A = this chain, B = another copy of it.
Amino acid sequence: MKRYEALAADVAASIQSGTLKPGDKLPSVRQASSSRHVSPATVFQAYYLLEAKGLIRAKARSGYYVAQGVKTLPPEPETASRPDGEARPVEVSELVLGILESAMSRDVVPLGSAFPSPLLFPFARLGRATAVAAAKLDPWMTVEDLAPGSPALRQQIALRYLVDGAQVAPDHIVVTNGAMEALNLCLSAVCKPGDTVLVEAPCFYACLQALERLGLHAVEVATDPREGIDLDALETAITRHEPKACWVMTNFQNPLGCSMGAEKKKALVELVTRHRVPLIEDDVYGELYYGHRRPVPTKSFDTEGWVMHCSSFSKTLAPGYRVGWTSPGRFLREVTYQKLTTSLSTSIPAQLGLARYLERGSHERHFRELRLALAKNRDLYTEAIRQYFPGDTRVSRPAGGYFLWVELPRKVDALLLHRMAMTENMSIAPGPMFSASRDFTRCVRINHGHPLTTRVESALGKLGKLARKLAR
C-alpha cells in the first residue's frame, strides 16, 4: 500500500466509524502533511482519492469536508466478557439441536447457518479430480492408508503449513472426517470424563457440544471481542483449575470474528508450554482472510508440540467431502489411536480427489475469489444491519470468515428474537448457544456467507424491525 493510500484508508476508517461526521472539516493539507510526516503532494493525492470515492468534498477557499450522507459503520462490540470462572458440566445439547434443526430447511433464510453458500465452491472441478482419483484408486490403499490418511493428501497439507509459516511433516498429520472429528479426537486423546477444559467466552457451540458428549467440564475465560482470549485470565484459570486442555479459535473466531495478533499467539504458546497444557487450536477459518496474508496459526510458534492444530477443507474448498485434519504435536500417537478406534479412516476417494485437486494448484484462484466474495458480503451485510437494526446496535468488523457478531440493545432477548424470526422463516444464531453459562443473551451471530439477495435483505429488514420492537 502506498503512503497516500494508507492515509486515505485511515481517514476513511475515521469517517466510517463516525469519528469524523458528515460536515466535519478535515485537517488542512499543511496540518496533515506535518503531522503524518508526508509531503503535501501525498496529502493531496489522498484527498483526491477520498473525493473520488464520494467520502469528502472540497469547498472553494475553505478546505475539505466530510460529505453529507456518507454512511458510517456501526460501532464494534467493545466489552470483554467476564465469565464467573467456575468449572461446570455443559448442557447445551437441547438448546443447540433445537436451533439447528429449526434452521435446516431451504425455505429458511440462513442468517443463523454455520455454512457459507455452497454455490461459492468449485464442485465441478473437485468432481473431476475425484473422478480421476476414484478410477485410479489402488485397492491396497484401502488397507494400508487407514488411520493417518492418504500420504498424497498429507503431503499437500504439509505444503500448506509451510506456506503458512509452520513446519509440519506429513507423518505428523492425521486426516479426519472434517475438523469436527479432529477436534473431538484431540479432546478424547488428552481428556477423561470429569476433566476440565478452558474455552473462550463466547465460543463455538460445537465445542460445548463436544465437551458435553465427552462428560467434560468447561471453564469460560474472559475474551475481548477484538483481541480474543485474555491471556492473564487464561493463566489464572490454568493455575486454579489444572485443565487438561484449552480450546481456542485463534483466527476469525466463531462467533466473534476476532483474530489474535502474532505476538499474542506466541505468548499463548509460551503460556501453555510453560504449564504443559495441550492447546487445541481450531483454525478452520484462517484461510478466509480478507487482507494480504493469512494470519499465522499458533502452530507456527510451537516448538515443544503442545499445540494440537485442527483444520479442514469444509469451509474453504470442499463442503460435504468431510475431509479435515489435525497436527497434534506430541499427542500424535494418542490421536492416531483415537482415529483408529473411532472411525478407522477417512473416505479414501474424497481424500484422493482433494489431493489431486490441490496438486493441480487451482485452489489458490478459488481461495482468492472466495475471500473477495466474503469480504464484499461483510460490507453489504454490515450496511444493511446499520440501516435496519436499532440505533445502538454494535457489529463486529471481522477481517476474515463469514460471521458478524451483533450486540443488540440491552432489552433484547436473543432467544426470543430467534423464536420470533423463525415464525417468519429466518434463522439466527442467538448468543446463549455460544456459552456454557447461557450468557450473551442480547447477542446474535449473523452469517454473511450468502449473497445479499433481495430475499436476504428483506429478512434483515424484518429482523431489524423485530429487534426494534424488543428493544423498546
Contacts and interface: CB of A to CB of B under 8 A. Distances in A.
Contact of A177 (B177, B209, B338): B177
Contacts of A118: 139-140, 142-143
A319 B142 contact: yes
Contact of A343 (B193, B322, B340, B353): B322
A93 B342 CA distance: 13
A236 to B, nearest CB: 29
- Identify the interface centre among A121, A132, A323, A342: most chain B CB within 10 Å of its CB: A342
A144 B320 CA distance: 10
Nearest to A150: B320
Contacts of A140: 106, 118
A343 B127 CA distance: 22
Interface string A187-219: 010001110000000000010011001010000
Given A127-B135, A131-B131, A320-B348, A144 B342 contact: no
Interface residues of A, number: 65
B193 A215 contact: yes
A326 interface: no
Interface string A125-148: 011101110111101111111100
Contact of A337 (B97, B121, B124, B343): B97
The copy count of this chain in the complex is 2
A170 interface: no
Contact of A192 (B188, B215, B337, B347): B215
Contact of A322 (B143, B194, B213, B348): B348
A163 interface: no
A224 to B, nearest CB: 28
A23 to B, nearest CB: 46
B338 A213 contact: yes
B340 A97 contact: yes
A337 B101 CA distance: 10
A377 B322 CA distance: 37
11 contacts: A100-B340, A118-B140, A127-B349, A142-B320, A143-B319, A178-B345, A192-B215, A193-B215, A213-B338, A322-B343, A343-B343
B184 A213 contact: no
Interface string A102-131: 001010001001010011010110111011
